[in-house]
């Protein structure tokens, strides 16, 4: 597959995936900040700050997503190559 075709396919695939903030994701899953705080073992104020952060540890993000019943997947896109999913250190996919 040519680089142009790969880039077009990649753009098409990503266009179908909605972009949400953590707050929007939590609300879509039907949870309150208080429920998240209980699940994460933190205070509601910590959940509020977490949802406003631009940068966080991957483990924190994974724990947040799993607390609402989700599964975190990381996909890397390189120019001219198909997207790849990053595996855990043990070889398992997210």
Task: Provide the domain count of the chain.
Answer: 1
Domain assignment present for residue 93? The answer is: no
Q: pLDDT at position 8, please?
A: 64
Domain assignment present for residue 90? The answer is: no
What's the pLDDT band for 71 if we cut at 50, 70, 90? very high
Angle between helix axes 33-40 and 44-52 (nearest 10 degrees) is: 100
CA angle, corner 43, sides to 67 and 21, nearest 5? Answer: 50
Q: What is the CATH number of the domain that holds 63?
A: 1.10.260.40
What's the pLDDT band for 16 if we cut at 50, 70, 90? confident
Report pTM: 0.74
Q: Which residue has the higher pLDDT, 26 or 18?
A: 26
Domain span at 10: 3-85
Domain assignment present for residue 92? The answer is: no
């Amino acid at each position: 597959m040519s680089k142009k075709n790969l880039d077009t396919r990649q753009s098409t695939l990503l266009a179908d995936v909605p972009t949400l903030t953590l707050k929007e994701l939590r609300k879509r899953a039907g949870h309150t900040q208080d429920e998240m705080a209980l699940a994460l073992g933190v205070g509601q104020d910590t959940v509020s700050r977490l949802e406003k952060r631009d940068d966080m540890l991957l483990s924190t993000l994974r724990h947040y997503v799993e607390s609402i019943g989700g599964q975190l997947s990381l996909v890397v896109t390189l120019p001219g190559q198909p997207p790849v999913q990053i595996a855990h250190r043990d070889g398992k996919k997210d």
